[in-house]
Structure 1
Amino acid sequence: MTERPATYCPDCGTVLAQRSFEGRERQYCPDCERFIWQNAKPCVGVVVRDRNKALLIKRAIPPDVGAWASPGGALEPDEPPALGAARELREETNLEVDPAALTLLDTRHSSLNEKYVLSIGYVVDYSHTDGDVAAASEVSDARFFTLPEAQEIRDQMRDYTRVVNSFEHWKKGNQTVVLG
């Protein structure tokens, strides 16, 4: 399994061939006689809501240095999504949250340079967190934005739709939103 299309077998180093399987062309190792699957990377994000505001972080590391986003990142291989979301929130903002306090907000699938990401979004009320908001090592700023303020920096945001969904989430009685 790889995040990006492989050109060589990760086990034996043979140049991969194309082979049709289930109606799609797939990477195939003729020496190992097996398919090399390209799977989406599972990621998580958390929108922390404080009444009419949402917590955003400004990224200090690639990708998208300087972009605003909800706290989040890649899951560890053995990590359940809610636990990973709580870890990412702590690592990026200094806020602690019980994973059980997180509510599923949305799911998204996206791609960039042939790397596919499956992102699971959560929302939590600020009152369910502990600690003081502080920018950690992966971020240069962390602060709350109203929806109009978020709209002003929309072009600088990685996950504007998720943040807007968090505002709609509370208006519509906390319903989960699933996006393609």
Structure 2
Amino acid sequence: MKFCSNCGNGDLEYIIPEGDHKHRYYCPNCDTIHYQNPRIIAGCVPMYEGKVLLAKRAIEPRYGFWNLPAGFLENGESPEDGALRELFEETGAKGEVNRLHTVFSLPNFNQVYLLFLVDLTSEEYEATTSESLEVRFFELDEIPWKEIAFESSTFALESYIASPSKEKVNLGQFVKY
């Protein structure tokens, strides 16, 4: 951080504020402490009649690899709405959130993934989108595991295969840190 977002001062200090335990950027000009927190990624495991809908990435990182629809949560948006928005943006498909499926944390990248199980309302989707080179359904035994873009998607898919029940489950077994 080079400038204070409150007053524009460029002489920030990196200190441990009194009563805190972590270094924070501090502006001595306006007495503002700048807290930096993890970013939330909302996504889904979109299912229709036992098949999962995956999108082949048309953007970096991991261009050309398959992925579950997911992206950064927007301000003022619930995680469920964010997951459905990402589903539509990346695949053109629509669905309904069934339940929270997995939580996946990447502390080194300051990211927390909330992946929901989504029941697609139909098998309609776009073959390509601005974010996806290709979109298609996969039977669970046909998932291209070596071509999955991110560990968060692999974890969510493996968790689904281990427990495909649509009933509420103990989420503790589906959390990875």
TM-score by length of 2: 0.82
- Confirm or deny: 8 A CA contact 1:44 1:121 kept in the other structure: yes
**Aligned counterpart in structure 1 of residue 4 of structure 2, from 3, 9, 14:** 9
Distance 1:153 1:170, change over 3 A: closer
Aligned CA RMSD, in angstroms, stands at 2.3
**Aligned counterpart in structure 2 of residue 125 of structure 1, from 102, 119, 122:** 119
- Confirm or deny: 8 A CA contact 1:105 1:169 kept in the other structure: no
CA distance in 2, matches of 1:154, 1:147: 14
Residue 170 (structure 1) aligns with: 164
Residue 85 (structure 2) aligns with: 87
Residue 3 (structure 1) aligns with: none
Structure 1 position 47, deviation (Å):
0.6
Amino acid at match of 1:23: H
User: Any gaps of 5 or more consecutive residues in structure 2?
Assistant: none
TM-score by length of 1: 0.80
Give the length in aligned residue pairs.
168
CA distance in 2, matches of 1:156, 1:111: 21
Amino acid at match of 1:153: W
Distance 1:60 1:52, change over 3 A: same
Consecutive aligned runs of 4 or more in structure 1 exceeding 4 Å deviation: 171-174
- Confirm or deny: 8 A CA contact 2:48 2:123 kept in the other structure: no
Write the deviation string for residues 66-121 of structure 1: whole angstroms up to 9, x where unpaired. Answer: 121101211210111111111111111111123xx331001122156xx4222110
User: Any gaps of 5 or more consecutive residues in structure 1?
Assistant: 1-5
- Confirm or deny: 8 A CA contact 1:43 1:74 kept in the other structure: yes
CA distance in 2, matches of 1:123, 1:108: 14
